[in-house]
Structure 1
Amino acid sequence: MNKFLPFLILALILTLIPPVGSSANTTAIQLGSDVLFNQFHHLIEGKKVGLITNQTGLNSQMVSTIDMLRRDRSVHLTALYAPEHGLDGKTVAGKQVTSFVHPVYAIPVYGLSGSTRKPTPEMLKDIDIFLVDLQDIGSRTYTYISTLQYAMTAAKEQGKEVIVLDRPNPLGGAIVEGPVVELPYRSFFGVDTLPLAHGMTIGELALFFNRTIGVDLTVVPMQGYTRNMIYQQTGLAWIPSSPHIPSLTSVFGYMATGLGEGTPIRQGDHFTWIGAEGLDSHKYADLLNGSLLPGVIFIPENKGTAGGVRLQINDLHQFNPAKTGIYALAYAKQLQPFPVPKSTSKQIAMFDKVMGTNKIGLLLEQGKSPQEIVSSYQADLKKFVELRQKYLIYGDEPFIPMQPIQQKHPEQPKQPVQPKPSKPGKPETPTPPKPGNNNGTTNQTKNPEPATKPIPQTPKSSEKIAYLTFDDGPSSVTPRVLDTLKAHQVKATFFIVGREVAGHEAILKRIVAEGHALGGHSYSHNYQLVYKNMESFFADLEKGSQMIEKATGVKPAVFRYPGGSTNTVSLKYQDPKRYNKQHTVMQAIKAEAKQRGYTFIDWNVTNGDARSNKYTAAQTLANIKQQVKSQKEIVVLMHDSSTKSPTVEALPEIISYLKEKGYRFEVIQADRPTVSNVK
């Protein structure tokens, strides 16, 4: 018991820390786990969660998903599930991962390797959601994706929902290579119609698998990820994914050196060397270097009596691991003929399981060249590339998650026709979102039409107009604001922060339906991000606008700068390599905004609720009274974020006061330039 005491103390401390999303970081992307807690937390609120993970399940701030869930008092983490290599990633390949009760968390940890690869009904009885957070390495034979497929199948059978937190394919998504699995050769090392190098993220693979499973599936995508990005470009630290994959060098060498299962050809030094007993290292290196395989040089190196080559990868984008592995086997067979394991009617050879077919072994036995072997699977590879296109999430531009990618209650999928080994069947598929623009959910409701479409009016010289504006929502406070406005028959303009949209779509639809106006107020409201440079500002702004339009069908026509157009905070965060006090980022943003035709709205009256969350309704009313003089037009800045209850409490008196002062109320529209900049 004493040895567990430090862990118990640590667990208690973590439990006392309130749940938060990822803090600001320097990574180029946000992982699915970051996006879940920062943007789509509603997916897990109030749920009993079973988490499939291991030591790789860390967010961009190196906090484990286990800890994030345990800190989160709105979620019940009821079970953990460990793939091959165990929860800590230290169990050797092929060894049974045992189940146990965690000594600190006091919840079951189920092993999903060895004799129990598919979760049993007993393992799933206490969960609502299967959450998956595993780092794959981009190879079809790496069994973490097989565990995902088995888990999805079990979840379908037991009526459980699956949420996959997406992570990068370390090899990138451009190179797709190797023989494609044929139905008779499916196994735990090839669970679906995949080539050796599939070029898909684990989230994309989940969508691909689901075409024949039909489970309720949600993929939480990454932010900022592109299809051509390799792991080294993400800014993330590599966590050893298994005992023999301690580094990214091992990841890239895995398929290049590890395809010789059951043959004398073996890998060494964590997949950085390949060779065999008695092989001539120099002749082997000459053949491989003479093939001009892109991105790699082969250095002859003996290991005792074994000859072989060490891979020196000099261009990670051009290097093709699976093709290199095929060449390495074929040339080794030419130099030192060896028997290739053959499958029988009773047992499939491990070599054929790795290849997904018996054809590669037969071609090696026939002494075919590596070029002929690679050519033999091109037709099947082309079919796969066409099939996978439907399930790709990411394109060439950094991906911006607008909402989770969901396949809710799809029709029972048709199973693939039993094909001959040479011609895998092509199953019918549900229609998923298009790659690079995957915002899709099913069961979407029709967006509301405004109750009355506001008609812009030019104020008469004698009349006074007040534009009530609310920033930073929607939140739980917003419906109370709407109730008050409705009671007083007043319209207002809501400047929406995009990150608050998810889970509050109904509130936005109500805003539109009741005749109020919507404006954009960035996606993140993160000064450090939006004011870094002009490009970052508009990317963030557009992301927020897209979320608003997706939720309501209304595209914002007016916008408000975070901090206002005359803010000084932008000077603190602008890129010093591009901007200075004479040439500021705000100048660049305003110039670009003019070119794009944006209408930005400031304010000339504020209730003061932006300064602090510790204020009273009386103070807000006093601030309004102090600033309202005899202006013909006033734009009143208020906030409806979750901490602004005093603003709602003061709102009836604010409205009454402005009416007494002779103001009528309108919504802000883009064709009223006189109120664009009145701060």
Structure 2
Amino acid sequence: MKYSIFKTIMPFRSAKITLFFLCTFISCKNNGQSQDYSSAQKAEKQTKEVVVGANRMYLYIKDLRAKNIAVVTNQTGIVKTEKDNYVHLVDTLLKKKINISKVFAPEHGFRGEADAGEVVKDGKDSKTGLPIISLYGKNKKPTPEQLKGVDLVLFDLQDVGVRFYTYISTLHYVMEACAEQHIPIIVLDRPNPNAHYIDGPVLKPQLKSFIGMHPVPVVYGMTIGEYAQMINGEKWLHEGITADLKVISLANYTHQTSYSLPVKPSPNLPNDVSINLYPSLCFFEGANVSMGRGTSQQFQIYGSPYFAKSTFSFTPHPNAGDKNPKFNGKLCYGEDLSKTPRLNQLNLSWLKKAFEQSKGVKTPFFTSSFNRIAGTDALKKQIIEGKTEAEIRQTWQKELEKFKEVRKKYLLY
């Protein structure tokens, strides 16, 4: 199986597909006052290609006219043109004379260049001149002052379907702020590259944090639009308030659809392999093990200076994804997982193996953040006790089945 973060899903093969993008992207009369909706819908039905919410402009452009719009997005907020290339949503809307007053940026920033966990400052976009307000700096929730004068919030972020990936936490706070200020929010849906399975322990309330805000498993099998509906429907916002929410759904998509992202969702997820391995390898964020930060194979390898010498080794160094990676400059021995077949469940064998290799080392294997990442204190105990992967998995099945019943209510695909 070939993995490439930059490949498109499939090339255009007919004039009908081109017609679709002409309709949804650039075909407007009188500066976009009217669009050929029926042609766009017909073209969607005739092509098998996944069409993201952002590209289905005929479904939401009318909601943006003559309003002050705030956009929550980053480098993943792109639309596909009739020439088979990509243009940022913000640039596209500005060209269509939509009044964007500001952009809210999540972790990693508007252009997606900040490290994981790095504080992102407010600023101004050099290309558009728009003010960029960070939701990963002084505040993670838009303030009433920041939303003053905003008529509608447009949300477009590419999620990867994992609880500790912070874009769903940003979604929560944006929805909450919109609900409190009585501002409608439109979520432009995008595929979840890990939507083909559901797995992992469900978050315990006492371990709630920005890397886990809701009682969901590690891998929850929903798109970000479906997740937004669940936040509203389960009344997870403050005091049970609900947002005035509209989701622009995907066309030609199911949870089993294999989808290769056209751009990196964050600096340390460079390709399809890393995105698929991320849910399993991110447990090492809470252990004294490197998962490849500071290399070109982030979340495709793991290792430690404390492991026994082996045929595979790597040395982390500062790079664009991590300015100060774990074990910076130290030789690490470990395992290369880049050829691993696509996972359909969490793999705990690497975590168990790494723990066994670290026995006898003075430095503790687990760090203080492990339980927050796992969403439970049970997994750490089970690894220490030497439970088998099957035994561990059995302990979260009951809550997992309960979650699946909740999830069903909000599925769009």
| Range class of TM-score, shorter chain | 0.7 to 0.9
Name the counterpart of 1:241.
265
Aligned partner of residue 286 in structure 2, secondary structure: coil
Give the letter aligned to residue 197 of structure 2.
I
Residue of structure 1 in register with 2:92 after alignment: 68
Q: Establish whether residue 309 from structure 1 lines up as the match of residue 335 from structure 2.
A: yes
* 1:615-654 pair list within 5 angstroms: none
Give SS of 1:260's match. helix
Matched, 1:53 2:73: yes
> Given the alignment, which residue of 306, 319, 322 partners 1:278?
306
2:116 to 90, 93, 96: 93
Matches within 5 A, 1:42-441: 42-61=62-81, 62-73=86-97, 75-171=98-194, 173-211=195-233, 212=235, 213=237, 214-232=242-260, 238-268=262-292, 269-280=297-308, 301-303=312-314, 305-313=331-339, 315-316=341-342, 319-320=343-344, 323-324=346-347, 326-337=348-359, 339=364, 341=366, 349-394=368-413
Give yes or no for contact 1:330–1:368 (8 Å, CA) kept in 2. no
Give the distance between the partners of 1:248 and 1:99, measured in 2 at CA.
31
TM-score by length of 1: 0.48
Structure having greater relative contact order (Cα 8 Å, sep ≥ 6): 2
Which string of whole-angstrom CA distances, capped at 9 and with x for unpartnered residues, describes residues 571-623 of structure 1?
Answer: xxxxxxxxxxxxxxxxxxxxxxxxxxxxxxxxxxxxxxxxxxxxxxxxxxxxx
Q: Which segments of 5 or more consecutive residues in structure 2 lack a partner in the other structure?
A: 1-29, 316-330
* Alpha-carbon contact 1:264-1:277 (below 8 Å) kept: no
How many residue pairs get aligned? The number is 344
Within 5 Å, give how 1:659-674 maps onto structure 2: none
1:130 match: secondary structure: strand
TM-score, length-scaled by structure 2: 0.77
Give how far 1:270 is off: 1.0
SS of 2:337's equivalent?
A: strand
SS of the residue aligned with 2:71? Answer: strand
What's the CA shift string for 1:449-506, capped at 9, x where partnerless?
Answer: xxxxxxxxxxxxxxxxxxxxxxxxxxxxxxxxxxxxxxxxxxxxxxxxxxxxxxxxxx
Contact 1:340–1:364, Cα closer than 8 Å, also in 2: no
Q: How does 1:494-643 map to 2 (within 5 A)?
A: none
| Deviation for aligned residue 1:362 | 1.8
2:335 maps to a residue whose letter is V
Give the conservation status (yes or no) of the 8 Å contact 2:179–2:243: yes
User: CA shift at 1:369, angstroms?
Assistant: 2.2
2-structure distance, mates of 1:309, 1:196? 23
Deviation at 1:105, TM superposition (A): 3.1
Corresponding residue number in structure 1 for 2:49: 28
Structure 2 CA distance for aligned equivalents of residues 327 and 244 of structure 1:
22
Using the alignment, how far apart are the partners of 2:395 and 2:353 within structure 1?
A: 17
Query: Identity percentage over the alignment?
Result: 33
The CA distance in 2 between the partners of 1:125 and 1:40, in whole Å, is 22
Letter in 2 for 1:33: A
User: What SS class does the counterpart of residue 304 from structure 2 fall into?
Assistant: strand
Unaligned runs of 5+ in 1: 1-16, 283-299, 343-348, 395-679
Amino acid at match of 2:256: N
RMSD over aligned Cα, in angstroms? Answer: 2.4
- Residue 313 of structure 1: CA displacement? 4.3
- Post-superposition Cα deviations, 1:35-68, rounded to whole Å, max 9, x if no partner, equal 1x13332222222110000111001331211012
* Superposed displacement of residue 358, structure 1: 1.2
AA aligned to 2:249 is: P
Could you tell me whether the CA contact under 8 Å between 2:288 and 2:366 is conserved in 1? no
Mark the CA change 1:313 to 1:106 in structure 2 (over 3 Å): closer, same or farther.
same
Q: For residues 612-646 of structure 1, what are the alpha-carbon distances to aligned partners after superposition, in whole Å with 9 as ceiling and x for unaligned?
A: xxxxxxxxxxxxxxxxxxxxxxxxxxxxxxxxxxx
Q: Which has the larger radius of gyration?
A: 1
What's the CA shift string for 1:313-366, capped at 9, x where partnerless?
4543xx135x21x22112222333363547xxxxxx321111111111122222
Say if 2:286 and 2:373, in contact at 8 Å, map to a contact too. Answer: no
Contact 2:305–2:332 (CA under 8 A) maintained in structure 1: yes
Amino acid at match of 2:396: Y
Task: Kindly provide the amino acid, as one letter, of the partner of residue 271 in structure 1.
Answer: F
Alignment match, 1:413:
none
- How is 1:462-473 mapped onto 2 (pairs within 5 angstroms)? none
**Partner SS, residue 90 of structure 2:** helix
- Distance in 1 (CA, whole Å) between partners of 2:286 and 2:126 is 39
